[in-house]
């Protein structure tokens, strides 16, 4: 079975240079979907790098959600159920940042 990053959302360009700065010190993970994760406490940002190299940042993610993702037997399943359509996010690119189409509030 082959996993890939989430389907590309409908995106708009974001011009703010303070939005979508990559986080340092990602943690490599064992997953068929994810390559690495990074978390910043203030502001609360979860950064996920997918196996295809795509990087997304999810905002207002509780630390417990990050810890639960790290501990999940299936990180892809946890991501799809608890993160993907729950938190506002941006997709990081080489030179630009585009917002994800979904912007639900954390539960």
Say what the pLDDT of residue 80 is.
96
Write out the residue range of the structural domain in which residue 37 sits: 1-107
Residues of the chain with pLDDT under 50: 7-18, 94-97, 102-107
Q: Domain tally for the chain?
A: 1
Say what the pLDDT of residue 8 is.
39
Residue 71 has which token pair? 């501990």
Cα–Cα distance measured from residue 75 to residue 79, given in angstroms and rounded to the nearest whole number: 6
Q: Kindly report the number of other CB atoms within 10 A of residue 91's CB atom.
A: 20
Say what the pLDDT of residue 3 is.
52
**pLDDT tens track for 3-28:** 555 543 333 333 344 466 888 878 99
Say what the pLDDT of residue 101 is.
55
| % residues pLDDT > 70 (the chain) | 67
pTM: 0.72
């Amino acid at each position: 079975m082959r996993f890939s990053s989430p389907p590309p959302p409908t995106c708009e360009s974001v011009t703010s240079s303070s939005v979508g700065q990559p986080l340092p010190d990602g943690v490599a993970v064992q997953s068929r979907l994810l390559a690495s994760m990074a978390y910043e406490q203030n502001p609360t940002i979860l950064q996920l790098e997918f196996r295809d190299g795509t990087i997304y940042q999810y905002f207002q993610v509780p630390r417990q959600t990050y810890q639960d993702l790290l501990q999940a037997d299936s990180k892809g399943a946890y991501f799809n159920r608890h993160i993907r359509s729950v938190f506002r996010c941006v997709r990081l690119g080489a030179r630009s940042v585009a917002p994800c189409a979904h912007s639900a509030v954390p539960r």
